[in-house]
Amino acid sequence: MKTIITFGTYDVFHVGHLNLLQRAAALGDRLFVGVSTDELNFSKKQRYPIYNQNDRMKIINGLRYVNLCFEEESLDLKRHYIDLYKADVLVMGDDWKGKFDEFSDICEVVYLDRTPSVSTTQLIEVISSSDQ
Ligand code: C2G
């Protein structure tokens, strides 16, 4: 049984997120997803996500590619989560390229190409400007 683990915020869920999760799931037998908490986002960006963590987790949990979804409470706990869930492969989008190579002593680390031309930040800008 090959377990894949990945992490993200998945705010204003879009096709780039789905592509990443679909391709991550295809690398193994089951996919576990750490969804960053609202507090973790606030501490990183000084703002809360548009969708709260319960809704973001509900969306991720509802996807056919995802077998388990858990709260990522701190960016510094990745090693702990990889151990806890006995993950064989850590997958991240290539905006994180090289950032998680330190975990290659306990699992395989794979960076997948991001989907071009779609991002939560850009969606928020488009939606808020069409509001005026
Ligand atoms: N992604 C992608 N293509 C896009 C946008 C995002 O492949 N156009 C991927 C990202 O590379 C990431 C995943 O979708 O692997 C989730 O993206 P974010 O929600 O932006 O995650 P992020 O805030 O970068 O993760 O420990 C990491 C943290 O949880 C933060």
Tens of each residue's pLDDT in the chain, 132 residues: 999 999 999 999 999 999 999 999 999 999 999 999 999 999 999 999 999 999 999 999 999 999 999 999 999 999 999 999 999 999 999 999 999 999 999 999 999 999 998 899 888 888 888 866
Tell me, using a 6 A CB cutoff, whether residue 9 lines ligand 1.
Answer: yes
- Which three-class secondary structure state does DSSP give residue 73? coil
- Per-residue pLDDT at 132: 61
**Cβ-Cβ contacts under 8 Å for 100 (sequence gap 6 or more):** 78, 90, 92, 109
* Contact partners, residue 58, CB within 8 Å, separation at least 6: none
Is 92 close to ligand 1, i.e. is its CB under 6 Å away? yes
Measure 2 CA to ligand 1 centroid, in angstroms: 22
Q: Go through the domains of the chain in sequence order and give each one's CATH number.
A: 3-130 (3.40.50.620)
Q: What is the pLDDT of residue 131?
A: 66
Summarize the chain as % helix, strand, coil (round to 5). 40, 20, 35
Using a 6 Å cutoff on CB, does residue 115 contact ligand 1?
yes
Residue 109: Cβ within 10 Å count = 20
